[in-house]
Structure 1
């Protein structure tokens, strides 16, 4: 029997935060509403909250090979220093000739291979955006 890749979407909020100087919480809320489109005061927290509406994207269904699977995409929120350490570790990986076996096993994680140099470059670019 044929297999098909089917996509769906959920309504969601991307959560942002701002530090607002105010006399009280109510005034901070008023200022937040007044400045809700001022992007320079808002910082994405990495928190995404889905809610009830769900829709299958009918025009994006495609036939796939029998052995094709869906690889989970993991989204994480990191601070600036955490991002910098991830980038440094990726670059160190690229430039290290001998990787200890226990570290290599973490990177491979039953997939059979690690990322290639160009894939690491692309990942670092994506992290930097």
Structure 2
């Protein structure tokens, strides 16, 4: 925890981005869908996206977030579960950082929940 506060030390502006139904944004690897089969009395169903109940779902999602934001983590991004926090020392710098993060989300087709988005908080 002390490490986190050290990284945020000079930051004065923060944006919190909440990823909408985060696990459902991760596609099951093609050919692995059968590993997620759910049997019901109406038939067998395979998940095409990662369900919330999979044992490794949090680790897989966290690995994805680390890969997506690798060059920004510890510079101006902190990822925690399904939240992304963008932090900066000035508002001008923050707008540049935020543009990079949002572009990366778009590039990887990851979607945020606008109602839980808090922009440029002091």
Q: Specify the TM-score bucket, using the shorter chain as the normaliser.
A: under 0.3
Normalising by structure 1, we get a TM-score of 0.26
Structure 2 length normalisation: TM-score? 0.27
Q: Which of these two proteins has the greater Rg computed from alpha carbons?
A: 1
**Structure ranking higher on relative contact order (CA contacts 8 Å, 6+ apart):** 2
